[in-house]
Amino acid sequence: MNDPAVLADSEALAAVAREHGSLAKLCGKYRRFKELNDQIREAKEYIAGNDPELRELALAEEPELMAEREGIWEELLDMTIGGEDANRSRCIMEIHAGTGGDEASLFARDLYGMYRKYCESKNWKLETMSMSETEVGGFKEIVFGVDGEGCYRELQFESGGHRVQRVPKTETQGRIHTSAASVAVLAEPEEVEIDLKPEDYEIDRFCASGPGGQHVNKTSSAIRLTHKETGLVVSCQDERSQHKNLAKALRVLRSRLYDLKRGQEDSKRLQERKSKLGSGDRSDRIRTYNFPENRVTDHRIGLTLYKLDAILAGDLSPVVDALLEYERQELRTSFGTIE
């Protein structure tokens, strides 16, 4: 943080300060964990030694030290769920309607409403980046940013195919239809992490439009960015200001580039965004929302809850908590027993 180049750039300094604050929490916990390991090792040596007074003190102290270490170990596991991006306080979410036509677009809107209400309950800030509405009031796609402590850690597991089973309002014979939407959750990098220069992308300006192509803005305020190297395309038309649309489009493009970069650096994350979004097909799913049974099933962990109405109203915590606990158990297994 004392680097003159960073000090001279207020945005870079703010970004480094945020990262420093996030890492400081993790480092502080880890240092204490190592201190406790040393103290427990020392206590065991006294217990095995020949000094009865020191042995008695160590026997009394050891359980307290081990209990504190176990507590910090659990906190460290929580803080590392999500890997390198575990403690990011900003992310970009994308919802795309899949198979199912109008009903799929309405389901995409329902998912957006669920996430919006959940973010409100967590006091996270939600900002719409771009949206494409349908004539029936649904979303072909919507992209939005979430800003708040722990948002990426909790929302990352929403990536994938979501399936809905219900009777559409237009269905006259009461038949249950199956539709799908896909969700991608991308960690949002700081500007200093993805150095995006004007010459790296092409910019097109056009008139914003609403459902069915109806113009809602006669000025060319909408922005389309095409990244020259990767071919990634981002459009943003939510704001009336061209400058604001450009700023939002750049944030989304940086997130997609960061996700692509991470995928290239780690073979396990190769083409991660594509796998997150899936094909949008009914069979490509991580979760099913069954309206007739008021049921939500997360197929990854075998979780079934009969409270679909509450979950769509923003009470997503039972699902999020179960997914975090599953990941916590996976991490605990991979790290093994604390010695």
Read off the pTM: 0.75
pLDDT digits (tens, 9 = 90+) for 163-204: 999 998 767 677 889 999 999 999 888 776 788 888 999 999
Q: What is the mean pLDDT of the chain?
A: 85
331 contact partners, CB below 8 Å, separation of at least 6:
77, 80, 81
Q: Which stretch of 31-40, 111-120, 253-262, 328-337 has the lowest confidence by average pLDDT?
A: 328-337
Dist. CA 167–CA 111, nearest whole Å: 17
Dist. CA 302–CA 322, nearest whole Å: 10
- In the predicted structure, residue 280 carries a pLDDT above the cut 50: yes
More confident residue, 5 or 100: 100
Across-strand partners of 296? Answer: 289, 305
pLDDT digits (tens, 9 = 90+) for 95-126: 999 999 999 999 999 999 999 999 999 999 99
pLDDT digits (tens, 9 = 90+) for 284-324: 689 999 999 999 999 999 999 999 999 999 999 999 999 99
Q: What is the CATH number of domain 85-339?
A: 3.30.70.1660
The pLDDT value recorded for residue 220 is 67
Dist. CA 339–CA 78, nearest whole Å: 19
Dist. CA 256–CA 224, nearest whole Å: 15
Q: What's the rounded mean pLDDT across residues 209-217?
A: 49
Dist. CA 181–CA 161, nearest whole Å: 6
The pLDDT value recorded for residue 217 is 47
Residue 275: pLDDT band with limits 50, 70, 90: low
Q: Residue 271 in 3-state DSSP? A: coil
- In the predicted structure, residue 271 carries a pLDDT above the cut 60: no
Q: Are 231 and 201 in contact (CB under 8 A)?
A: no
Domain residue ranges in the chain: 4-80, 85-339
Question: How many residues appear in the chain?
Answer: 339
